Amino acid sequence: MVRDPRYDVLFEPVRIGPVTARNRFYQVPHCNGMGHRRPQAEAASRAVRAEGGWAVICTQECEIHPSGEVTPSIEARLWDDKDIPALALMTEAVHRHGSLAAIELVHNGPSGANRYSREVPLGPSHQPAGRWDPVQARAMDLADIRAYRQWHRDAARRAKTAGFDIVYVYAGHDLSLPMHFLQRRRNDRSDEYGGSLENRARLLREVIEDTKAEVGASCAVAVRIAVDELLGADGIASADEGRDVIEMLAELPDLWDVNVSDWDNDSLTSRFGQEGGQEPFTAFVKQVTSKPVVGVGRFTSPDTMVSQIKRGVLDFIGAARPAIADPFLPKKIEEGRLDDIRECIGCNICVTGDRFAAISRCTQNPTMGEEWRKGWHPEQVPAKTSEESILIAGAGPAGLECALALGQRGYQVHLAEAGTVLGGRVVLESRLPGLAAWIRVRDYRLQQLDKMTNVEIYRDSRLTPEHVLEFGAARVVAATGGTWRRDGVGRANWQAVPGLETSQVYTPDDIMAGAMPRGPVLIYDDDHYYMGGVLAEKLRAGGLEVTLATPAPSASAWCDYTLELAHIQKRLLEAGVTILPNRRLVALHEDRADLACVYTGALSQLACAALVTVTARLPNDDLYRALIAQDEGLKEAGIESVTAIGDALAPSTIAAAVYAGHKYARSLGTEPDGKIAFKREFPG
């Protein structure tokens, strides 16, 4: 296929100081849970993005000194020369594909509590350190500032030795000393580093100059800065000091990497922000500097990308999450294969990997994090190892992905869906407030399956055990999904809650199917992910009086790991939803619910006409269990295996369902039994 000439501008080379990027696609710094602890996995994951056409590949934050580390997050590390070989693995891997390697040097200052090093945190002033830690940072004196500048300069030199082409000075996300010195709320100094904006920007200027002096002849020097913290007068704002800082230092670095702060706002989910949403805050930057500018906005549409370039908003299309969802996005645009792009859905499941000190995962791209340890490539799968045919029951996210990957391997696949609409839970959930982008999980897979002659899809085909035995497929996969419980059993209640047998009890399945309870309605959220909050929003928009009670300290508490917690609380409270945290449902009566404090057990009553239980789910495994009970029948039918995957095995996230489908397809005939199915990295 041929590239659409409308997108030619995206493939122009761009000069960045002493180096040149081969196109305008720029994988900006982002964490992936690999970092210094898993350097081989880190190198392989970044290399896949270089192979996919991203001209610049950045690390995540890279710690420069033990006094500014970010445990438990696993970021890059460049404390001394012994860290150079691990980082060189990445630069070598990226360079093999013709891309530039960039490193984001950072000292987290008072944002980190130094839980590993146990060093006293540093800051522009005396202030609390970390998030909730009972730790304080001490105010840096002039000797500390000189030491910090030298640490940064030493790290820049080591980065050059490791082979990096671009070295970052980081001043963003409320996570770096240069930003902390800029912030009036953190900097109450009265010396030459405090007071006026010029003084507060002094450290940033000095570190840029130091870095250029150290590596500028051979490496580009980039500055990543949040031009707006979205805090109004309490923070840096693009209409005020955010613009002033850029104007003050406009020509000093070789590239400006601009965004908003903090991370919750920069990586806004699709539920709370649209593609290109940062433009109102960052568009001014190119007006005040001649240096190239990169910015982000969860870009997935090439038309939006071209618009940003041609309107003079950006020089580079920056991406973190879209590069995770589809490492080959640039190549697919270049080759005219737009239908093959796996568009990011903006769910931020990738972020949870970093928050848990684990590897990142992705709803759209099940190979994320598996590039080295399992050898999974996002665009290449091994050829089939037999002529077996596979029958898949259920065309939800697990079934669709399983059919797709098996089809790519060359197997003959039969996909049977009980209903007439493909997509399973993805279709239903994408109709909920803010989740429309999630339909991309289905749409991408259907687009690919439509091209395959070796995959047959049967709609309106609910399979019975007899159907399966008669069909004659060698292998059977049950991807039949799960169902929300209505008995109150979940994390806080291990047994059914009395009174939930009545017709006034609803589950998310009922609401997504169109049921509308009478108000006032109580939503009991013991799931703690997005569903409880989304349903509260939906029912409130329908005019009902809504109370959300949860055993957790907040509504949708797990969404803290997807950076949505504050946004969810704000939206629900502004919509008029009453939130009752730390409450466990203990009984339901005709006109009220009994709630108990999770700490004291003290009972309270809440008047309600209906209850929506968002607790746990059960696998729809009747077909699977009926089949595995027929050992002789399976042998007679020539069925070699019956496997349940995704929610039909154990209900979880959509990302887990997609991964399960892909894992089954990849593993078929390729993985030996009884062995750990992935490589591990061990300390040297």
Among all residues, which ones are annotated catalytic? 31, 170, 173, 266
User: What sign has the CA pseudo-torsion 265, 270, 276, 277?
Assistant: negative
d(CA 46, CA 372): 10
* Inter-helix orientation angle 142-162/202-215, to 10°: 30
What Å distances lie between residue 154 and 75, 140, 144, 207, 473, CA to CA? 18, 19, 15, 12, 63
Report the Cα 98 to chain-centroid distance in Å.
Answer: 26
d(CA 397, CA 410): 20
Backbone φ and ψ for 632, nearest 5 degrees, come out as: -65, -40
Report the Cα 599 to chain-centroid distance in Å.
Answer: 33
The three-class DSSP label of residue 676 is coil
Where would I find the beta strands (DSSP E) of 140-292? Answer: 166-171, 220-228, 255-260
Contact 585, 488 (CB under 8 A): yes
Kindly provide the b/e burial profile for residues 482-497, where b requires at least 16 CB atoms within 10 angstroms of the residue's own CB. Answer: bebbbbbbbebbeeeb
- Those residues whose C-beta lies under 8 Å from the C-beta of residue 132, and which sit 6 or more positions away, are none
Q: Give the residues across from 26 on adjacent strands.
A: 56, 318
Please list the alpha-helical segments (H only) found in 417-502: 425-429, 440-449, 465-471
d(CA 293, CA 105): 19
Strands 592-597 and 603-607, by their bridges, are antiparallel
Report the Cα 565 to chain-centroid distance in Å.
Answer: 14
DSSP 328-388: THHHHHHTT-GGG--------HHHHHHHTTS----SS-TTTT-TTTT---SS--PPPSS--
Q: Give the residues across from 62 on adjacent strands.
A: 76, 105
At 355, list the tokens.
Answer: 């928050």
Contact 366, 447 (CB under 8 A): no
